[in-house]
Amino acid sequence: MTNSFVVPRVPSVDAVAVEERAARFKTRSIKKDAKIKGLKLAASMIDLTTLEGMDTPGKVQMLCQKARSPLAGSDCPQVAAVCVYPTMVPIAKRELQGTAIKVASVATYFPSGQASLKERTDEVRRAVEAGADEIDMVISRGDFLAGHYHKIDEEIRAIRQACGPAHLKVILETGELQTYDNVRLASQIAIDAGAHFIKTSTGKVSPGATMPVTLVMLETIRDHFIKTGKMVGMKPAGGIREAKQALHYLAMVKETLGDAWLSPDWFRFGASSLLNSVLMQLEKQRTGRYHSDRYLSLS
């Protein structure tokens, strides 16, 4: 154990209160103008992602085209980032040249993280050298559940260093952390170790993001900001597919962290299929009828 590491003291989570508060965000009534604004904001916060074994350069090129122009003829904004495996980073970087869209990569032997720390940091360096602006790393859940919190701290600090100028999103894989108290503690360890963003899930484990878990993470970010004045970003991922869900999440962010976090710089959705749902809702608001999904490209 490093001499300097001390397990952070975090408050115990009241599960009933968290779940009741999260459920109330689903009851918000959102008027038309605010809904359109919220839908466009949600689109601008999406990390458009493809993380499949059958990914090809052509598929990544198509995804980047969709990121640049989500729906021809519409005023839907570009997404925040395109997220790919490290080998696809050069292709995404080339396709997104001249835009503000970031290239994110899931380095660190995603999604299991089962590799030595050296192998993981080496992969991060290769991804950054290839052009990645952001790195999504996954923590070693086995070490966390065994109580080896100092190892989680060490790995995040080492990977943050390997990132150099790239931003680091730390994936907790909350579906495997078992309790809200564990989510709260893992969030605080990640923040203290230097995460720019904390993220719920890889999208490969069920459940992915849930509103109660996201609320626990938002409250950790809020309490850290109150204590230190430093902002940390949040990225729920996995299972957010409908535009209506995205609006519920945005209401939760606004009422927990405030307007400063309603920006792609501080909040993202890791949910590629969400974009098509947002586009269909924007077209519904514009034309009064739903757009056929056959006019939409891959999700």
Question: Cis bond leading into 70, ω under 30°?
Answer: no
Hey, what are 179's tokens? 């309790």
> Would you call 268 exposed, middle or buried from its count of C-beta atoms within 10 A (0-12, 13-18, 19+)?
buried
User: Which of 210, 217, 213, 264 shows the shortest CA–CA distance to 238?
Assistant: 210
Contact call for residues 214 and 249 (beta carbons, < 8 A)? yes
User: Which of 5, 35, 4, 3 shows the shortest CA–CA distance to 247?
Assistant: 35
Contact residues for 105 (Cβ-Cβ < 8 A; gap 6+) = 83, 84, 85, 86, 88, 89, 127, 130, 132, 134, 135, 136
Q: Of 93, 102, 151, 199, which one is the catalytic site residue?
A: 199
- C-beta atoms surrounding 81 within 10 Å: 30
Q: Of 93, 136, 153, 169, which one is the catalytic site residue?
A: 136
Structural element, H or E, at residue 82: strand 81-84
Question: What's the chain's Rg over C-alpha atoms?
Answer: 19
- Told to judge if 293 belongs to the known catalytic residues of this protein, a careful annotator would answer no
Could you tell me whether strands 134-138 and 102-105 are parallel, antiparallel, or unpaired per DSSP bridges? parallel
Alpha helices, H only, the chain? 15-24, 32-44, 57-68, 89-95, 117-129, 141-145, 149-163, 180-192, 211-228, 243-256, 272-287
- Told to judge if 136 belongs to the known catalytic residues of this protein, a careful annotator would answer yes
Report DSSP state, residue 100: S
* Distance of alpha carbon 5 from alpha carbon 95, whole angstroms: 42
Catalytic positions are 136, 199, 235
